[in-house]
A and B are shown apart, each in its own frame.
Chain A
Amino acid sequence: NAGVTQTPKFQVLKTGQSMTLQCAQDMNHEYMSWYRQDPGMGLRLIHYSVGAGITDQGEVPNGYNVSRSTTEDFPLRLLSAAPSQTSVYFCASSYDRGQGIGSSYEQYFGPGTRLTVT
């Protein structure tokens, strides 16, 4: 298994440009999420999906769109890039191993995409 893959690894955009960050997982996980991480900060949830065709907003959804047409893919679209969107973007996937004591819900993270908007 390749796990969670993200492309591109680095991207520079001009203000107003649009682009799509790609995320794919080959573990048949039902849950997928997008986070952004600013310098010296924790990760903030942008959007997440609990299954194909189902998405919901996280903490900081403005300026981003997502869709989940397949279990494997969860692209993140920047409609009109702004300097405030300069960040490192992480995609993650997970599945629920159960509710009993000892089971866990672990998110697997991709390597990240470093985005700079000038």
Chain B
Amino acid sequence: GESVGLHLPTLSVQEGDNSIINCAYSNSASDYFIWYKQESGKGPQFIIDIRSNMDKRQGQRVTVLLNKTVKHLSLQIAATQPGDSAVYFCAENSLSNTGKLIFGQGTTLQVKP
């Protein structure tokens, strides 16, 4: 079936370095993608999103890149901080059916001081 998946289950980075978390999706009909952050014991928290008519979107310290040719999504975090330690999920959606969000497996980001 169609799915959204992540390449690496765990990413360990040094504080201050940049982090890159990758995601592959398989549903070519998806036209909206979101990154979520989940801290232990909490619900997911929205970070940034991107629509399929864009290939890059920037937020505060975060950038999402979308490559529709290879169905790849990435989240870049600049100057990673200890508070960034969490599990990060990508999710895909179709804007024609915005109630149906499909999540990937998740990547654990560990920030070393």
Binding site for B on A (CB under 8 A): 4, 31-33, 35, 40-45, 48-50, 56, 58-59, 90, 92, 94, 96, 99, 101, 104-112
Q: Which of B32, B93, B98 has the largest count of A CB atoms less than 10 A from its CB?
A: B98
State whether B101 touches A33 (Cβ < 8 A).
yes
- What's the A-B contact tally at a CB cutoff of 8 Å? 69
State whether A105 touches B95 (Cβ < 8 A).
yes
B6 to chain A, nearest CB (A): 8
A116 to chain B, nearest CB (A): 16
State whether A106 touches B49 (Cβ < 8 A).
yes
Query: Residues of A contacting B42 with CB < 8 Å?
Result: 111-112
Q: Number of residues in B with C-beta < 8 Å to the partner? A: 26
Binding site for A on B (CB under 8 A): 4, 32, 34, 41-46, 49, 51, 53-54, 89, 91, 93, 95, 98-106
Complex CA gap A112/B43 in Å reads: 6
Of chain A, the residue at the smallest CB distance from B105 is: A42
